[in-house]
Amino acid sequence: MRQLLQGVRAFHEAVRSDESLRGSYQRLAAGQRPDTLYVGCSDSRVVPHLLSTAEPGDLFVVRNVGNMIPPASARGVSIGDRSEAAVLEYAILHLKVRDVVLCGHSSCGAMAALHDGIDGATNPNLAEWLRLGMPALDEACFPPSVGEERTPRDATSQRNVLQQLRHVRTYPFVAEALDAGRLRLHGWWFDIEEPVVRAFHESSQRFLPIELAYAQSDFG
């Protein structure tokens, strides 16, 4: 906590001494217009604004244990916690973001618990939440190249990114936006040790470093 408070004091000091920083926050006070929704893990090592050098106002963010999105029921509402579905609705229908990035990462504690199992008696909420990732344990439901050359836990983590994107697509307003070309979905995976951000590349069915994954795209 001491480090956190020192950090806030340092931020206040920076704002006081930097007129352009003050100005940028005054502009942000008028409203936000992020063009991307980032869905990531709560892990303290995976900081979306650092790994993308993003600024305040650039990203709309939801982070939770294991970067999960509960899927929609036949009625189009979340079968689990409503928080993630509410974020999707707000970002896509109101902020009108063009892109949704869902990012997993290496040595993820949630994926370790999913892979190795967890005691539901002492962790009832966590155990229930992790059930959202269970399809990622079934290798047969994913391209065989996903997770290749990774540890079993990291392979599960990469498959979980694709599984959670499948959950995102179950929401009718997402499917509609995708069909209309108003929205794009991206599966990312952050390798902490390298450290490199990879993206799922449809043609090769692998997670490639961002530079390679988007080389042939409009974003390249």
43 is a site residue for Zn ion (CB under 5 A): yes
C-beta closer to Zn ion: residue 108 or 174: 108
CA–CA separation, 154 vs 158, rounded Å?
6
Stretch of residues binding Zn ion (CB under 5 A), selected from 5-13, 39-47, 181-189, 207-215 = 39-47
Partnered with residue 95 across adjacent β-strands are none
C-beta closer to Zn ion: residue 63 or 98: 63
213 is a site residue for Zn ion (CB under 5 A): no
41 is a site residue for Zn ion (CB under 5 A): yes
Stretch of residues binding Zn ion (CB under 5 A), selected from 7-15, 42-50, 132-140, 189-197 = 42-50
Q: Rg of the chain over CA atoms, in angstroms? A: 18
Number of residues that bind Zn ion (CB under 5 A): 4
Which residues, 6+ apart, have CB-to-CB distance to 37 below 8 Å? 59, 60, 61, 62, 87, 88, 91, 92, 95, 97, 99, 100, 101
Closest approach of Cβ 171 to Zn ion, in Å? Answer: 23
88 is a site residue for Zn ion (CB under 5 A): no
108 is a site residue for Zn ion (CB under 5 A): yes
102 is a site residue for Zn ion (CB under 5 A): no
Q: CB-hemisphere CA count at 13 Å for 127? A: 9
Stretch of residues binding Zn ion (CB under 5 A), selected from 43-51, 85-93, 185-193, 204-212 = 43-51
Per residue, what are the HEC states of 136-195? HHCHHHCCCCCCCCCCHHHHHHHHHHHHHHHHHHCCHHHHHHHHCCCCEEEEEEEECCCC
Closest approach of Cβ 189 to Zn ion, in Å? Answer: 11
CA–CA separation, 190 vs 70, rounded Å?
22
Closest approach of Cβ 178 to Zn ion, in Å? Answer: 26
Closest approach of Cβ 216 to Zn ion, in Å? Answer: 30
What tokens appear for 143 in the block? 């391209």
Stretch of residues binding Zn ion (CB under 5 A), selected from 54-62, 102-110, 130-138, 168-176 = 102-110
CA–CA separation, 64 vs 110, rounded Å?
10
Among residue numbers 117 through 176, which ones bind Zn ion (CB under 5 A)?
Answer: none
CA–CA separation, 216 vs 106, rounded Å?
26
- By the criterion CB under 5 A, which residues form the site for Zn ion? 41, 43, 108, 110
